[in-house]
Amino acid sequence: LVFSHCLFAQQSANYDESKVPDLVIPDLFVSFEGRRIKSIEDWEKIRRPEIIQAFADQMYGHLPKDYDQMAFEARFPANNPYGNLADYKIIELKVSRKGNSQIIPLHLFTPKLQKGPVPVVLLISHRAVDQLIADMEDQFFDIQQIVGRGYAAAVFDVEYVSPDDKERFADGILKTLYPEQMQMPNGMRGLGSWAWGAMRAMDYFEQDPMIDHTKAAVVGHSRGGKAALWCGANDSRWSVTYANESGCGGAALSRRKFGETVERINTVFPYWFTDNFDLYNGKEETLPFDQHQLIASLAPRTVYIASAMEDLWADPKGEYLSLKLASTTYSQIYGKQIELPEEYEFSPHFHHKGSVGYHLRSGKHDLTGEDWSKFLDFFEASLRLFPIF
């Protein structure tokens, strides 16, 4: 049912640039109270916190950061398809709160011959992780490339945090750890829970001597990219955030109503966002923010946005425009050098001047080996050129 509903939505969406409304985009540098934001201090004390607060209230829901205890237990699977390249362990993250607990398996591959701590890439996966790992041809989680280039590759399946399912989404941390969230119109739902899960993976990285948690990227594709952005915005321990084809509710500007719209996403995936987000169905122009503000809230930490030309449902042009607007925070507030294409156009090469990266590849909606290779080129260049970001 969801699938056919989705197809219908995709076919009847607007893909005509001439029908995109005239955009009145909220100014990044004017606070909700009308104050001009000029300095790093204004940005960090006033603007960034109020932006994140507004996204929490109206869209992704509040992200509870408290829990009572977390324990880690490692298992070493006998079957490691990447055995010549990497050591493989599954860490069971056991998080407890108010007498209940949730176990989240975190799969971690570390380069075999590496001695010192290595940078890490975490994928938030809505695809079955066991299959991603077993199928060495599948590059959605390109373990060979990531580990081959000297990074640790980590992934968890959102199923163990909040199942990606309209009926079952609460059968995870929303039941075991944070039941009160379900009563709140601005409570956490699916995407917020996935962001929370990635933060727990970071709690683990912080204490694994094999991992350099100061060089850590949180990565997601599409719905996972939406969660990655929300995670990066809320948790400054991530030095890099990479959202691949994250579209509506991710990097793309909502006000363009191109491809997927707020109403469509709230109808087909009512469990992704907080209840308040329904208020904006068909009324994107009344949102107190747009998605460029979410990207901007990552500054000065590194952000990478990638799109695919045929992925019109995710509005690749809206993602580009959003990143371009957001990059002014990096340049005007933090004085960083930014290099982005002048116009929305095919940009097969990554751009790495400063802390903002981008590519637009040909082809369809997917996370591919090509995407990983561009992103890892960028990550590598960032580490070399800006070792402390």
Catalytic residue list: 222, 365
Phi-psi bin for 148: left (phi > 0), alpha (psi -120 to 50), beta? alpha
User: What is the rounded (10 degree) CA torsion for 162, 251, 326, 142?
Assistant: 80
Beta bridge partners of 359: 306
340 makes contact with ligand GTR (CB under 6 A):
no
CB of 284 to ligand GTR, least distance (A): 15
The closest of 220, 243, 204, 223 to 326, measured between CA atoms, is 243
Instruction: List Cα–Cα distances, 19 to 12, 312, 315, in angstroms.
Output: 13, 14, 13
User: What is the rounded (10 degree) CA torsion for 25, 21, 272, 96?
Assistant: 0
* Binding residues for ligand GTR, total number by CB under 6 A: 7
162 makes contact with ligand GTR (CB under 6 A):
no
Per-position x/- string for 2-31, each x denoting binding to ligand GTR as judged by CB under 6 A, each - no binding: ----x-------------------------
222 makes contact with ligand GTR (CB under 6 A):
yes
Of 119 and 225, which CB lies nearer to ligand GTR in the complex structure? 225
Of 111 and 225, which CB lies nearer to ligand GTR in the complex structure? 225
159 makes contact with ligand GTR (CB under 6 A):
no
Beta bridge partners of 73: 92
Angle formed at CA 229 by CA 360 and CA 332, multiple of 5 degrees: 75
The closest of 190, 167, 162 to 59, measured between CA atoms, is 190
CB of 349 to ligand GTR, least distance (A): 25
Phi, psi of 122 (to 5 degrees): -110, 125
Beta strands of the chain (E only): which ranges?
69-75, 86-97, 100-111, 118-125, 152-157, 211-221, 240-244, 302-308, 356-361
What residue spans of 110-178 are helical by DSSP H? 129-134, 143-148, 173-176
CB of 371 to ligand GTR, least distance (A): 13
367 makes contact with ligand GTR (CB under 6 A):
no
CB of 246 to ligand GTR, least distance (A): 8
CB of 55 to ligand GTR, least distance (A): 17
Q: Which of residues 251-270 bind ligand GTR (CB under 6 A)?
A: 260, 265
247 makes contact with ligand GTR (CB under 6 A):
yes
The answer to whether the CB of 306 falls within 8 A of the CB of 228 is no
CB of 193 to ligand GTR, least distance (A): 15
How big is the chain, counted in residues? 389
CB of 224 to ligand GTR, least distance (A): 7
Of 229 and 248, which CB lies nearer to ligand GTR in the complex structure? 248
248 makes contact with ligand GTR (CB under 6 A):
yes
CB of 133 to ligand GTR, least distance (A): 20
Of 250 and 354, which CB lies nearer to ligand GTR in the complex structure? 250
Q: Which residue is nearest to ligand GTR (CB)?
A: 222
Place of tokens 């009512």: 270
Of 10 and 331, which CB lies nearer to ligand GTR in the complex structure? 10
Of 8 and 346, which CB lies nearer to ligand GTR in the complex structure? 8
Of 212 and 260, which CB lies nearer to ligand GTR in the complex structure? 260
Q: Which residues contact 115 (CB under 8 A, 6 or more apart)?
A: none
56 makes contact with ligand GTR (CB under 6 A):
no
What the block records as the tokens of 34 is 């009308």
Per-position x/- string for 91-130, each x denoting binding to ligand GTR as judged by CB under 6 A, each - no binding: ----------------------------------------
Burial of 344 (0-12, 13-18, 19+ CB in 10 A): middle
Of 221 and 351, which CB lies nearer to ligand GTR in the complex structure? 221
223 makes contact with ligand GTR (CB under 6 A):
yes
Binding interface with ligand GTR (CB under 6 A) = 6, 222-223, 247-248, 260, 265
